Structure 1
Amino acid sequence: MSFAHLFDFLERLQANNHKAWMDEHRKEYMAVRDFFIDWLEDMNQQLAAIDPDYFDTPGRKAINRINNNLLYHPNRPVYKDHFGAGLDQVSKQGDFYIELGVNESFVGGGYWHPSSKALASIREAIDYNGEELQAILDKPSFKKMFQVVDPEPLSRPPKGFDKDHPHIELLKRTNFAVFRPFSQKQISGKDFQQEVIKTYMELLSFRRYLNQAVSV
């Protein structure tokens, strides 16, 4: 089993995105899923060995369901076009996220569509010490590695903040997430695991800033 098998399975699943096909190929799905879980478990152990504050997240806990939530999103396909997982997964905090999919694959972290409470906490931290977050985002190695995701910034300052605030552009954000894209060729290469570890380490200061803000 390999990542090539994983992507091949996902491509065929998207071409036959219905329960009958999945039931017919259930054994293959479980084999691909178990391969990814084993890979996540290995990553879990490696990250725990290099980060003393890492939160142990076994592979079976880390992996997300492949079924879409049709109760709240009835127009979506039955199955997702990717395998997703969150490592260093502390409850109600931003985990280290890995997504391997047909159309895109990436590694990243932060807060994507945070709750109103979490967003308010992050803005309070920026108001108090936005210089630290800006320095993290401006670090050359961070800027080179990651893309910042925020498709829905506010056009005006959020309530309670002046338009002349020194960190007004950060305060206008409604998402605080970054990602590093990977191609299928990179994922199948021998260096992928080491690149994931490098990504984790570069992302730590960003995630810790946000998680500290939300946990206060």
Structure 2
Amino acid sequence: MKNPKITKEAFDILKKLAKNNNKEWFEANKVTFKNYEAEVKSFYAVLQEKLNVHDDIEKMKMFRIYRDVRFSKDKTPYKTHFAGSFSRLGAHLRGGYYVHIKPGGSFIATGFWNPNKEDLLRIRKELEMDASEFREIINEKKFKKVWGDLEGDEVKTAPKGFDKEHSDIDLIKKKQFIFIRNFSDKEVLSDSFIETLDESFKSIRPYFDLMSDILTTNLNGESILD
């Protein structure tokens, strides 16, 4: 079976929405928009199947096009991109994948967007004790070629209870532990895009394996799972 792809027509409807971000235009073009949204959702569904060959995906979520404008200065009612996320299975496998499709601004992301308080402290404690394996993985040549540098929000100096002079404070002060890969429109519209995404996500596994091990054990390496 031929792999699905992101089509130029799907891009075009997003471009039109960006120029006409109002309820009147959307309602008049809703049927057409929903057809392309379904096309992209099918793309995500096939990507999930591919990910499940080498990972265990608990669920795939495609985000709604409607924006929550209650607390935003930007009152435009619709997003101008398609987005989907993939959650790994249960408490044993941690982390997730994200795919953002937008003309002129497509990217994928992976890692840990907003670790809860307990997970964040556990990660920081691990890095405080020994960050060598973590650095070895994220600095590996092939890994870095695909994902570049570790990204994410961080505190200004040091988290409470941690030494701001610690040799690994650049990692310890992170609040997020994510990697992002950007794509040109040409790459997104290519026949091989879904394979590129699958291979990119496959390459993150050494990082996920380490983080899953950290987040399912205590500092003595003993399992905290029932």
User: Same fold by TM (over 0.5)?
Assistant: yes
Taking the TM superposition and a 5 Å limit, the aligned residue runs for 1:18-57 are 18-49=22-53, 51=54, 53-57=55-59
Counterpart of 2:131 in 1: which secondary structure? helix
Q: How far off its partner does 1:83 sit?
A: 0.7
Task: Say how many residue pairs are matched.
Answer: 211
1:37 counterpart letter in structure 2: K
The CA distance in 2 between the partners of 1:73 and 1:89, in whole Å, is 31
The CA distance in 2 between the partners of 1:63 and 1:207, in whole Å, is 22
Q: Per chain length, whose mean CA-contact separation is higher, i.e. which structure has more relative contact order (CA < 8 Å, sep 6+)?
A: 2
Q: How far off its partner does 1:118 sit?
A: 3.5
Q: How far off its partner does 1:209 sit?
A: 3.2
2:141 counterpart letter in structure 1: P
Instruction: Return 149-158 or 40-49, whichever deviates more.
Output: 149-158
Q: How far off its partner does 1:44 sit?
A: 1.2
Instruction: Return 4-13 or 123-132, whichever deviates more.
Output: 123-132
In the alignment, structure 1 segments of 5+ residues that lack a partner are none
Partner of residue 81, structure 2:
82
The alignment's TM-score, normalised by the length of structure 2, stands at 0.82
Asked if residue 4 in structure 1 is aligned to residue 8 in structure 2, the reply is yes
Identity %: 22
Q: How far off its partner does 1:214 sit?
A: 4.3
Asked if residue 140 in structure 1 is aligned to residue 141 in structure 2, the reply is yes
1:83 counterpart letter in structure 2: F
2:84 counterpart letter in structure 1: A
Taking the TM superposition and a 5 Å limit, the aligned residue runs for 1:1-216 are 2-49=6-53, 51=54, 53-57=55-59, 61-90=60-89, 93-148=94-149, 150=151, 152-214=153-215
The CA distance in 1 between the partners of 2:152 and 2:110, in whole Å, is 16
The CA distance in 1 between the partners of 2:75 and 2:147, in whole Å, is 28
Task: Go from structure 1 to structure 2 and tell me whether the alpha carbon gap of 1:28 and 1:42 turns closer, same or farther (over 3 Å shift).
Answer: same
2:27 counterpart letter in structure 1: D
The alignment's TM-score, normalised by the length of structure 1, stands at 0.85
Contact 1:133–1:209 (8 Å) recurs in 2: yes
More helix per residue: 1
The CA distance in 1 between the partners of 2:216 and 2:62, in whole Å, is 24
Q: Which runs of at least 4 in structure 1 moved beyond 6 Å after TM superposition?
A: none
The CA distance in 1 between the partners of 2:70 and 2:216, in whole Å, is 30
> How large is the Cα RMSD of the aligned pairs?
2.4
Q: How far off its partner does 1:102 sit?
A: 2.8
Task: Go from structure 1 to structure 2 and tell me whether the alpha carbon gap of 1:132 and 1:14 turns closer, same or farther (over 3 Å shift).
Answer: same
